[in-house]
């Protein structure tokens, strides 16, 4: 079945360490996104990529980095510069088309202590 | 920047009854897209329904329908014949036609379904 796979489901890191969250899709979608979800808030866009080897900052890109070397993969690195990294992270993709909706993965819960 | 407001942090409904979740948005654009997403305890976001602003007819998907009031910038979701499986967080989202990558989400409404 086609879909978006995020791994791992839960991730624990010590403060000061970088950590990379995986996102893989087999939907053949061009555009991919990373969102952050905090309690009581809507999703906020971190980064997005419309094509391979190109990506753009979203509203809260500081302290994060991404790469898009393959169409299927869009990993997110949470660096030690991110002041409040503990959150739920959602990866999404979208097919071509103006009204096409986002398709989401199951998310990764990151806890930094 | 466009904002999306969901004024009901929590709602509850009796099984088999009808419930309406509210959503308002702020925009100066005339053409855009609106979405409702459901996030069950599994935390995967699932598309419930979508509406194009240029369409006057309200979208419907089985037990889910919307009341789209463009002048009032309102986009409410009605769930009929509520089922236990409808219990989830519901997020309203707005996306401009000028930037397909800029989707704005509301803070969500937690829906509880009572048996």
Cβ-defined contact of A104 to B45 (cutoff 8 Å): yes
**Residue to test with chain A: of B43, B50, B102, most A Cβ within 10 A:** B43
B100 pLDDT higher than 90: no
B7 pLDDT higher than 90: yes
Buried b (16+ CB within 10 A) or exposed e, A9-29: eebebeeeeebebbbbbeeeb
Q: Which of residues 18-57 of B touch A (CB under 8 A)?
A: 33, 35, 42-47, 50, 52
Q: Which of A28-32, A50-54, B11-15 has maximum average pLDDT? A: B11-15
Alpha helices in chain B (DSSP H): none
Q: Both tokens of residue B4?
A: 């999306």
Q: Quick: pLDDT tens for A24-39.
A: 999 999 999 999 999 8
For B107, which of A42, A88, A100 is closest by C-beta distance? A42
C-alpha angle B114-B13-B11 in degrees, rounded to nearest 5 = 110
Classified as helix, coil or strand, A44 is strand
B1 pLDDT band (50/70/90 cuts)?
low
CA distance A99 to chain B (A): 7
Q: Which of A38-42, A100-104, B70-74 is the least confident region? A: A38-42
Cβ-defined contact of A104 to B44 (cutoff 8 Å): yes
Q: What are phi and psi of B107, to 5 degrees?
A: -80, -10
Give the closest residue to B23 by CA, choosing from B39, B42, B41, B36.
B36
Q: Both tokens of residue B111?
A: 């829906």
Cβ-defined contact of B43 to A88 (cutoff 8 Å): yes
- Positive or negative, the Cα torsion across B99, B100, B102, B107? positive
- A chain contacts of residue B55, beta-carbon cutoff 8 Å: none
Give the closest residue to B50 by CA, choosing from A95, A43, A98, A44.
A98
Q: Both tokens of residue B34?
A: 């609106």
For a pLDDT cut of 70, what percent of chain A falls above it? 98
- A chain contacts of residue B103, beta-carbon cutoff 8 Å: 45, 102
Cβ-defined contact of A105 to B44 (cutoff 8 Å): yes
Searching chain B, which residue's CA lies closest to the CA of residue A108?
A: B43
């Amino acid at each position: 079945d086609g879909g978006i796979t995020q791994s791992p489901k839960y991730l624990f890191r010590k403060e000061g360490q970088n950590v990379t969250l995986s996102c893989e899709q087999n939907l053949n979608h061009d555009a991919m996104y990373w969102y952050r979800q905090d309690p009581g808030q809507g999703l906020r866009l971190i980064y997005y990529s419309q094509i391979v080897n190109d990506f753009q900052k979203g509203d809260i890109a500081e302290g994060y980095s991404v790469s898009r070397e393959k169409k299927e993969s869009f990993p997110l690195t949470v660096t030690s510069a991110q002041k409040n990294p503990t959150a739920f992270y959602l990866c999404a993709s979208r097919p071509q088309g103006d009204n096409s909706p986002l398709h989401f993965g199951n998310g990764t819960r990151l806890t930094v202590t | 920047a466009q904002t999306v407001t969901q004024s009901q942090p929590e709602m509850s409904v009796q099984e088999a009854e009808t419930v309406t979740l509210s959503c308002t948005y702020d925009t100066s654009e005339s053409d855009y897209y609106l979405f409702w997403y459901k996030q069950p305890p599994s935390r995967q976001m699932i598309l419930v329904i979508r509406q194009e602003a240029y369409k006057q007819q309200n979208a419907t998907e089985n037990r889910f329908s919307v009341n789209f009031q463009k002048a009032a910038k309102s986009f409410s979701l009605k769930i009929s014949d509520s089922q236990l499986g409808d219990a989830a967080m519901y997020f309203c989202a707005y996306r401009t036609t000028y930037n397909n990558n800029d989707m704005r989400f509301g803070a969500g409404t937690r829906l509880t379904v009572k048996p």
